[in-house]
Amino acid sequence: MPETVTPTNAAIGTARRLDAIAQIVSERRDMPGALLPILHELQDVHGYVPAESVPVIAQALNLSRAEVHGVITFYHHFREHPAGRHVVQVCRAEACQSVGADALVQHAERTLGCGMHETTGDGAFTLEPVFCLGQCAIGPAVMIDDRLHGRVDPARFTRLIEGLREAMRAERQQAAEASA
Residue span binding ligand FES (CB under 6 A) among the ranges 3-11, 102-110, 129-137, 160-168: 129-137
Q: Which of 39, 56, 58, 91 binds ligand FES (CB under 6 A)?
A: 91
Q: Does 139 bind ligand FES (CB under 6 A)?
A: yes
Q: Does 50 bind ligand FES (CB under 6 A)?
A: no
Q: Which of 21, 42, 96, 105 binds ligand FES (CB under 6 A)?
A: 96
96 marked among binding-site residues: yes
Chain Cα centroid distance, residue 7: 29
Provide CB contacts within 8 A for 89, sequence distance 6+. 128, 129, 130, 133, 142, 143, 144
Q: Does 88 bind ligand FES (CB under 6 A)?
A: no
* Inter-residue contact 157 to 108 (CB < 8 Å): yes
Q: In whole angstroms, how large is the CA radius of gyration of the chain?
A: 20
Q: How far is the CB of 158 from ligand FES (least distance, A)?
A: 20
Q: Total binding residues for ligand FES by CB under 6 A?
A: 12
* Inter-residue contact 65 to 75 (CB < 8 Å): no
Q: How far is the CB of 40 from ligand FES (least distance, A)?
A: 20
At 71, is the secondary structure helix, strand, or coil?
Answer: helix
Q: Does 71 bind ligand FES (CB under 6 A)?
A: no
Q: How far is the CB of 104 from ligand FES (least distance, A)?
A: 11
